[in-house]
Amino acid sequence: MSPAARYSLIGSGVLAALLSGCAAGPRLYLANELQSVAGKCRLAESDVDQLGDPRFLFLLKPAPSKAELACVSHWAARHHLHLVFIQSITPPPGPSDI
């Protein structure tokens, strides 16, 4: 193998290794990281969770304020997570409603 081909092969391997490190998959954040988000956004610690899915950030507070939603949404976007939130809860119909 010629020296030029060897350097080209080594360079390709180094480039592939560097790029694969940049493309790390989603991860579950630690409880203290999620608690920090909740604190910064003035939410209860239990209001922000990933519920075992590294692609999503769940805001578990029904009808969050615009400020709370914007704060958590900003953090989720910076960390490449999809934000899932509850806009409202409608109670199921009771026996008298049927």
d(CA 74, CA 69): 8
d(CA 52, CA 38): 17
| pLDDT value for 1 | 65
Confidence of residue 7 (pLDDT cuts 50, 70, 90): low
Q: Which residue has the higher pLDDT, 95 or 70?
A: 70
| pLDDT value for 47 | 94
Which helix (H) or strand (E) element contains residue 48?
A: strand 48-49
Confidence of residue 73 (pLDDT cuts 50, 70, 90): very high
pLDDT digits (tens, 9 = 90+) for 45-64: 999 999 999 999 999 998 89
d(CA 84, CA 57): 6
For 33, counting Cβ atoms within 10 Å of its Cβ (0-12 exposed, 13-18 middle, 19+ buried), the class is middle
Confidence of residue 80 (pLDDT cuts 50, 70, 90): very high
> Contact, 64 vs 95, CB < 8 A?
no
Confidence of residue 97 (pLDDT cuts 50, 70, 90): low
